Amino acid sequence: MEARPAPDVYDNELWEVAAAYRVTLWEQPARTGRDTDETRGGWGRFPGAPMGWEEMTFELVGTQDVREAIEWAEAILASQQGPASRRGLPVQDREYVIYARGPDDRWLHVAGWIPVLPPESRLNLRRLEKGS
């Protein structure tokens, strides 16, 4: 990452605050026995992408900023309330993705990593190492 001084953006550009946030929680149930292959087989929109993930999406109402949305997502996953763990399944991996609603009701991906897309996909953010 490189940080460079920006032009006088407060004087020359339009600004908006995100009107809402959506959070998608992803969990990959732990695999046992013979079903341990983690890549997609057969026809798929994203050949070679990991599979076996479950998701659930929430729209957060009254959220102040993206930090609050991230804290909420981390707390829900840590409390075993994700899509697989709430059913009592053991989970081998968890992720969340945060979207902010912008102009024209478009949802902008602002945080998190979508685990069902290939890592090199231009539609995905770079996955950060756990604990970083």
Contact (CB, 8 A) for 31 and 52:
yes
**Residue 76 vs residues 13, 49, 130: alpha-carbon distances, Å:** 36, 26, 17
Separation between Cα atoms, residue 16 and residue 11, nearest integer Å? 14
Could you list the pLDDT tens digit for every one of the 132 residues in the chain?
Answer: 788 887 776 666 677 778 799 999 999 999 765 554 455 444 445 555 556 899 999 999 889 899 999 999 999 999 999 999 999 999 999 999 999 998 788 899 999 889 888 878 888 777 666 654
Helix (H) or strand (E) holding 92: strand 91-101
Architecture of domain 19-30+52-121: Sandwich (2.60)
Question: What is the pTM for the complete model shown?
Answer: 0.76
